[in-house]
Structure 1
Amino acid sequence: MLHRAGRTSWKRFAAVLVPSVMAAAALGIGMAQGALAASFFISGQKFQVALDTLDVRGLSIYGTVDVTRKGALVPVFVTGARRAEITGLCQSVVVPIPVLGPYTLKITGGERRPVEAKNLFLDATSLSSGQANFDDLDIGVAAGAVSKGPISREDRNSRFFDPNGFAQQADSAFLSDVRFTTVAVSAATFNVPGLDVRLKQGSHECF
């Protein structure tokens, strides 16, 4: 009976975890190859994105609402970058596994050479930075009038996008010790030198 129970646990483990790991690995590979699609329903699960530095050319920050596959609404603020260079990328999500408990899926890269991204969007619920410097910053611009940074095409066409809503923009920005809590990340291209995807038992998040 003990042997059978052990086998059943691993079957449950595989059924729950393997699809998540395969999807995350595909996400990382897609990012590394610059082939990540930008339009999708979110899962609704929050994950962490930590960056040593974020160097942006063409910054936008605006609010919208993301939608899960089940139709739940998740208010977010979107940080957009026409071009971005990132050092010290870390992305983590904790996956609860029945019987075995939590496992952490962690993606890292950009240690020796910067990550490069175009039309990058981070749909976040929180953001902090040890230091943030902005050039030619506009606070309070209407979202529909943002011109210095990008607005996601999917967001602009969404019923939740208010062109008269509050937004910010800047010609450029440099942030260090950056911490995002996000529900989605998308980019036209996302090239990750030194991509590393690891799965580890327990909670081992980026921050």
Structure 2
Amino acid sequence: MNQLRWTTRLRALARPAVVGAVDWNGRMLALAADGPRQGTRWGRSVAVLLPAALTAGALGGAMANGALAASFNVTNSPFTLTSNGVSGTGFGAILNTPPVEAANGSTSTTTAMARVGFASAGLAGLCGIVHQSFAGVPYSLLLTAGQTVTAAPPATVTTDINASNLYIEAPTLTASGSTTLQNAVLGMSADQVMVAGQALNGAQAGGFGLGSAGSGPGGSTVNLAGLNASAYTAEIAGSLTLPALNIRVVPGSATSC
């Protein structure tokens, strides 16, 4: 009887959290399905993959631990992505013209971009900035994690964010400091560039590619300081660890975190 009473109490305590998680998941799915009218769609795949029965306590625990294991996408609206540095293995890049969806729902393939992939990457801090307007009023969504990202990269870069199967699609991607490539092949046919054993989306036979001279997911390596990308897509198809994750909205058009 005592065990029955405790089971009943635990179920009663868990019910509000489950209902809350289901309600949250429903809202996220509705926003993702709403398409272009919602502009930038943060965590679309995370919303789809979140189990309906996930409790609010478990979600809070995952955020506190800084571990997210799902695809993370920011699409159809350019955003700024900066880091003090990136150290990656299994590096590859191609040129392509992916479909870009405008706010009115139309889609074009006229924007040339570099699609860059890492089988495994370490980042020295992360700063993501998305600009969006509501009723004509500009706002900025800021996502920060790890160490503070500075305008000029520090002399010594130590990574504190780990990601696997990281992909960035950007018309502009620069490094303000030194960049080192090892075992890389410039001019490889785009369809032969492999990242984690997979060809990069949008690769065309005969198109320009930067691939690896080695075999396997380790392949080529890249170390760069002061990453600054104006990107349309940032995807973590594997796992992502974000220490000290902070997401906030500020008025105006922010240029730094």
Which TM-score bucket, shorter chain as reference? Answer: 0.7 to 0.9
Shift of 1:145: 1.9
Cα drift, residue 61 of structure 1: 0.9
- Residue 61 of structure 1 corresponds to 93
TM-score by length of 1: 0.75
Structure 1 pair 150–84 and aligned structure 2 pair: CA distance change class (3 A): same
Question: 1:103 is matched by which residue type in structure 2?
Answer: Y
Q: Is the 8 A contact 1:109 1:196 kept in 2?
A: yes
Show CA shifts across 1:6-50 (max 9, x none).
Answer: xxxxxxxxxxxxx669x5377696x94121267x9x42x210000
Q: 1:75 aligned to 2:136?
A: no
The match for 2:146 is 110
The whole-number CA distance in structure 1 between the counterparts of 2:206 and 2:161 is 33
- 5 Å-filtered alignment, 1:150-165, equals 150=196, 155=201, 160-165=202-207
- The one of 157, 167, 172 equivalent to 2:221 is 172
Provide TM-score, normalisation by structure 2. Answer: 0.61
Distance 1:96 1:32, change over 3 A: farther
User: Could you tell me the percent identity over the aligned residues?
Assistant: 19
Q: Which position in structure 2 is the counterpart of 1:92?
A: 129
Figure out how many residues of one structure are paired with residues of the other and give that number.
178
Matched-pair contact (CA < 8 Å) for 1:60–1:151: no
Match of 2:16 in 1: none
Bigger Cα displacement from structure 2, 182-191 vs 50-59: 182-191
What is residue 47 of structure 1 aligned with on the other side? 79
Specify every segment of 5 or more residues in structure 2 that has no aligned partner in the other structure, as ranges: 1-37, 48-62, 149-158, 213-219
Distance 1:107 1:32, change over 3 A: farther
Compute the displacement of 1:203 (Å): 1.4
Give the whole-Å Cα distance in 2 for the aligned partners of 1:191 and 1:36.
Answer: 12
2:209 is paired with a residue whose SS is strand
**Aligned position for 1:206:** 256
Spell out the pairing of 1:181-192 with structure 2 (5 A cutoff): 181-188=230-237, 189-192=239-242
Using the TM superposition, give the Cα deviation of residue 192 of structure 1 relative to its aligned residue in structure 2, in angstroms: 1.2
> Residues 181 and 173 of structure 1: is their aligned pair in 2 closer, same or farther, counting only changes over 3 Å?
same
Q: 1:206, CA displacement in angstroms?
A: 3.1
1:196 lines up with 2:246 in the alignment: yes
- Moved >4 Å (runs of 4+): 25-29, 150-154
Aligned to 1:36: 71
Asked if residue 141 in structure 1 is aligned to residue 185 in structure 2, the reply is: no
**Greater CA radius of gyration, 1 or 2?**
2
